Amino acid sequence: MTESRLSYYGKPIIKEPVWKAEIPNYFFIGGLAGGSATLSAAARAAGNEQLARRALYVAAAGVTVSPYYLIKDLGRPRRFYNMLRVFKVTSPMSVGTWIVASEGTSTGIAAACELFGILPRVRGAAQVVSGLLGPAMASYTGALVADSVVPVWHESRRELPLLFASSSAAAAGGLAAALTPVASARPARRLGLLGAVAELVTHKVMERRMGELVAEPYKKGEGGRYAKAAEAATLSGVGLMLLAGRTRTGAAAAGVLLAAGSWSTRFAVHHAGKTSAADPKYTSIPQRERAAERGQPAVTG
Amino acid sequence: MQLGDGQTTYGLQIQPRMGFFTDTSVCIGCKACEVACKEWNLVPEDGLVWSGNSYDNTGELSANTWRHVAFIEQQLDDGMRWLMSSDVCKHCTHAGCLDVCPTGAITRTEFGTVVIQDDVCNGCGYCVTACPFGVISKREIDGDGGMHKCTLCYDRIEDGLEPACAKACPTKSIQFGPLHELLERAHGRLEDLHEAGVDDACLYGANEDDGVGGMGSVFLLLDEPEVYGLPPDPVDPTRNLGTIWGAAGAAAALLAVGVAFAFVGGGDD
Ligand code: SF4
Ligand code: SF4
């Protein structure tokens, strides 16, 4: 196929996403907050106060800085509140805005009560809400990028939410394991390991299902570099957690590695999306094959 | 044939669905449409440069170019040919940009067209990733920060005028009117061209079974869509939203199960 028949002077067919580094940073921080909120609520229910308190503080820190990243990336930050005047199920960003707002409020209340040792009933109720919303907070961002025309995102729409959720579990478990005395940290270590393994497997399945061409942005350029870094950090985090997770320093190093892997995963997705939109072949070739199957619906005559 | 429309909520104020028919076979590449659009809609200047791609000097549709005239030089067996085409927002029946906009800034008008309300848009950029045609982008001029695109001259058609580009086009390559009339005209023109031996002529966007439910801007092309920079099988990503929310729900449930599983067997070593 000659270049000139794939697009107009080799120019992109779709526009590159305008999102900057704030967005993958938010995906990581928001996911960490969501995973930690649920971990904390479960720890509280299990009577593991040490773990519950630390995971709650991580979640609270996450929900506190999340809005900063979200608002900073807007083209018109002072109008961010326009998102709070609308609720639209056809827009994962709209649904997500309400998830973030509710998760932020409930986690913030729970953490404040915890910190000042006041209103235990309010804290308990807020923590239930925060724990229940945590998984939604960790997953909706995968839905957000999947609902786009960027081939490497849209064609992995079945896997992206799970990739983000498992990546969040790895980061939340890892950091909680790093911060909690080893005797109380077993559930955190297990969550980190489980999340990390699921993250690695989901990424592989996702690439396989997309096929070689569409998945190429995870193999080369910025997307490829971050994907490799993510795999290396997550794998070594898993190894270290298994070998030395029952020592304080081992758990700290392993937890940081798992979080770094999770962060790199979001940047890999972000950059792969940019590459996927910028090169018209990722749009033209699969669409042409699909059109051939569907009988060229956009073209008549 | 009548394409479905999305303006059913307008009640008594409903208007016939209006659109464009761009017949590229008679485009002479004069760019009167680009200039008229910029002037009427006060679209800012974004560089007076030559792209080096034939006579194209605006390159692509963007926040600051709402009509874009493409120039394609092709070497054929018996000489060369020059294709010219004025591209524009498709005012899709199922518009991805409108579906995903979290502020409600993008709305469907009583004419079935798709318009961004500039005073509501907060510049989140979601619409940019949801348009299958690369129409919308961010305006970075004078700290604007919002997304912009063709309004099908909403202010003009409300007053019974035709859009600036259609008005300025000297060859009637750009035609404006009720969409069902335009579709009839487009099919007639296609037949004429086929009879005259122009076998490659085809319509783009005239089928409601395509991935965006048919387009409010229909084109007559002389080559495959990709050659003009148009996607061969555009799909509104929100069509697959059921799958996407399903995957997100399953992922959230699995995360909850995973957390519960982490506590199996107690918290102590
Ligand atoms: S062409 Fe793009 S910008 Fe225009 S209505 Fe369709 S999705 Fe929206
Ligand atoms: S950038 Fe503006 S128009 Fe586009 S989706 Fe966001 S709020 Fe809506």
Query: Given this model, what pLDDT does residue B10 score?
Result: 82
Domain ranges of chain A: 1-17+149-301, 19-147
Using CA coordinates, name the residue in chain A closest to B139.
A75
Using CA coordinates, name the residue in chain B closest to A43.
B263
Query: Given this model, what pLDDT does residue B2 score?
Result: 46
User: A196 C-alpha to center of ligand 1: Å?
Assistant: 39
User: B130 C-alpha to center of ligand 1: Å?
Assistant: 8
Query: Given this model, what pLDDT does residue B48 score?
Result: 85
Q: What is the pLDDT of residues B133-192, one digit of tens each?
A: 999 999 999 999 999 999 999 999 999 999 999 999 999 999 999 999 999 999 999 999
Nearest Cβ partner for A136 among B133, B243, B252: B252
- The two three-digit tokens of residue B113, written as one number: 């067209």
Q: Are A265 and A142 in contact (CB under 8 A)?
A: no
Nearest Cβ partner for A83 among B96, B102, B190: B102
Which residues 156-195 of B have a C-beta within 8 angstroms of A? 187, 190, 194
Q: Which atom of ligand 2 is nearest to the CA of B125?
A: 1
Task: Indicate the helix (H) or strand (E) that contains B236.
Answer: none
Closest-CA residue, ligand 1 atom 5, reads B91
CA-to-CA distance for B238 and B131, rounded, in angstroms? 10
**β-pair partners for B76:** B79
> Which residue out of B66, B97, B128 has the highest number of ligand 1 atoms within 8 Å of its CB and is therefore the one to mutate?
B97
Query: Given this model, what pLDDT does residue A86 score?
Result: 95
Which residues approach ligand 2 with their CB closer than 6 A? B 101, 103, 105-106, 116, 121-127, 147
Q: Which atom of ligand 2 is nearest to the CA of B136?
A: 4
Q: Are B167 and B36 in contact (CB under 8 A)?
A: yes
User: B123 C-alpha to center of ligand 2: Å?
Assistant: 5
In this prediction, residue B3 has a pLDDT band, given cuts at 50, 70 and 90, of: low
CA-to-CA distance for A272 and A153, rounded, in angstroms? 8
Query: Given this model, what pLDDT does residue A294 score?
Result: 82
Which of chain B's residues have a Cβ under 8 Å away from the Cβ of A246? 269
CA-to-CA distance for B225 and A288, rounded, in angstroms? 10
- Check if the interface score ipTM surpasses 0.90: yes
Query: Given this model, what pLDDT does residue B1 score?
Result: 37
CA-to-CA distance for A256 and A278, rounded, in angstroms? 33
Which of chain B's residues have a Cβ under 8 Å away from the Cβ of A279? none
Which of chain B's residues have a Cβ under 8 Å away from the Cβ of A158? 243, 247
Q: Which atom of ligand 1 is nearest to the CA of B106?
A: 8
Q: Say yes or no: A168 contacts chain B, CB-CB below 8 A.
A: yes
pLDDT averaged over 10-residue windows placed end to end, chain A, 301 residues: 76 97 98 98 96 98 96 94 95 97 97 94 96 98 98 98 98 98 96 98 97 97 98 98 95 98 98 98 95 87 79
Closest-CA residue, ligand 2 atom 7, reads B121
Q: What is the pLDDT of residues B71-112, one digit of tens each?
A: 999 988 889 999 999 999 999 999 999 999 999 999 999 999
CA-to-CA distance for B267 and B241, rounded, in angstroms? 39
Which residue carries 């770094």 as its tokens? Answer: A260
Which of chain B's residues have a Cβ under 8 Å away from the Cβ of A273? 129
Is the model's pLDDT at B265 over the cut of 90? Answer: no
Q: Across the interface, do B104 and A85 touch by the CB < 8 Å criterion?
A: yes
Q: Across the interface, do B122 and A135 touch by the CB < 8 Å criterion?
A: no
Q: Say yes or no: B147 contacts chain A, CB-CB below 8 A.
A: yes
Which residues 217-276 of A have a C-beta within 8 angstroms of B? 246, 273
**Sign of torsion, CA A170 A176 A181 A186?**
negative
Which residues approach ligand 1 with their CB closer than 6 A? B 89-92, 95-97, 114, 131, 133, 135-136, 149
β-pairing verdict for B79-87 and B68-76: antiparallel
In sequence order, which ranges of chain A are alpha helices (DSSP H)?
Answer: 22-45, 49-72, 92-116, 120-146, 151-154, 160-179, 186-210, 212-215, 221-244, 248-278, 281-294
Taking domain A19-147, whether its CATH number is 1.10.357.10 is answered by: no
Query: Given this model, what pLDDT does residue B268 score?
Result: 55
Angular region, B197: left φ>0, alpha ψ -120 to 50, beta rest: left
- The two three-digit tokens of residue A235, written as one number: 């794998």
Task: Indicate the helix (H) or strand (E) that contains B241.
Answer: helix B241-262
Q: Say yes or no: B87 contacts chain A, CB-CB below 8 A.
A: no
Count CB atoms within 10 A of the CB of residue A240.
19
Query: Given this model, what pLDDT does residue A27 score?
Result: 98
Taken in order of first residue, the domains within chain B and their CATH numbers are: 7-235 (3.30.70.20), 239-269 (no CATH)
Distance of CA B11 to the CA centre of its chain: 26
Q: Are B24 and B219 in contact (CB under 8 A)?
A: yes
Global pTM? 0.95
Task: For residue B116, report the phi and psi dihedrals to the nearest 5 degrees.
Answer: -95, 125
Q: Are A187 and A41 in contact (CB under 8 A)?
A: no
In sequence order, which ranges of B30-159 are alpha helices (DSSP H)?
Answer: 32-41, 96-100, 126-130, 154-157
Query: Given this model, what pLDDT does residue A1 score?
Result: 44
**Sign of torsion, CA A17 A20 A21 A26?**
negative
Nearest Cβ partner for A300 among B129, B134, B202: B202
Q: Nearest ligand to the C-alpha of residue A82?
A: 2
CA-to-CA distance for B99 and B106, rounded, in angstroms? 8
Q: Across the interface, do B259 and A92 touch by the CB < 8 Å criterion?
A: no
